[in-house]
Amino acid sequence: MAVSASIVIVYHSPYGHTAKVAQHIATGAMHVKGVQVTVMSIDAIDWDVLDQANAIVMGCPTYMGSLTSGLKLFMEQSSKRWLARTWQGKLAAGFTNGGGLSGDKLAVLQQINLFAMQHGMLWSGLPVMPTGRSPQDLNRLSSFLGLMTQSDNASVEVTPPKGDLETAMIFGEHLAKTTLQLQ
């Protein structure tokens, strides 16, 4: 099947946990035929790829109840696109990872959402009902504005837990299907 939609997942991940979540979102999105997925660290931004994408998914860790300075710099560097309305009408979504169960992750998703709204983008949240509170459960942090995951103070090889990563894949698949519907 030919590619009929493209998604870019752009992220900041100083310790690798958020990159792991981004890869799981991408894996879920790649399960949908006709969708091309690009995973892009803020350390290697390709503005042309972002401009051509049908959907942009943005994520970073939650630090002190806020975005990381790296993702904020990416947002500020997009100002010419904001002025030209380059991303208007594209699908947008957000995700965040942090050490605490809350850690004010909602504030990060709200900041990403507001950024997307400034660009005139369309927002998609996480349509997964919570299935419980254990690390194996889906959407255990009960987020609907976007994806929230939690990493213990441990290596990226063992955290985030299985349920959070499965939720990330479901989120990616949902975003891919939604992107196709909008085409």
Question: How much is the average pLDDT of 112-123?
Answer: 98
Q: How confident is the model at residue 101 (pLDDT cuts 50, 70, 90)?
A: confident
Question: Above 70 in pLDDT, residue 183?
Answer: yes
Cα(10)–Cα(72) distance, integer angstroms: 12
Torsion angle defined by CA atoms of residues 71, 149, 90 and 4, in that order, rounded to the nearest 10 degrees: 120
Q: How confident is the model at residue 179 (pLDDT cuts 50, 70, 90)?
A: very high
- The CA radius of gyration of the chain, in Å to the nearest whole number, is 15
SS3 of residue 93 by DSSP: strand
Range of the domain at 152: 5-182
CA 171 from centroid of its chain's CA atoms: 9
Say if pTM beats, i.e. exceeds, 0.95: yes
Total domains in the chain come to 1
Question: Above 90 in pLDDT, residue 109?
Answer: yes
pLDDT tens-digit readout, 33-50? 999 999 999 999 999 999
Question: How much is the average pLDDT of 1-6?
Answer: 84
Question: Above 70 in pLDDT, residue 1?
Answer: no
CATH number at residue 35: 3.40.50.360
Q: Is 38 exposed, middle or buried (0-12, 13-18, 19+ CB in 10 A)?
A: middle
Question: How much is the average pLDDT of 133-145?
Answer: 96
Phi, psi of 26, deg, nearest 5: -60, -40
Residue 65 confidence (pLDDT): 93
DSSP secondary structure string, 24-50? Answer: HHHHHHHTSTTEEEEEEEGGG--HHHH
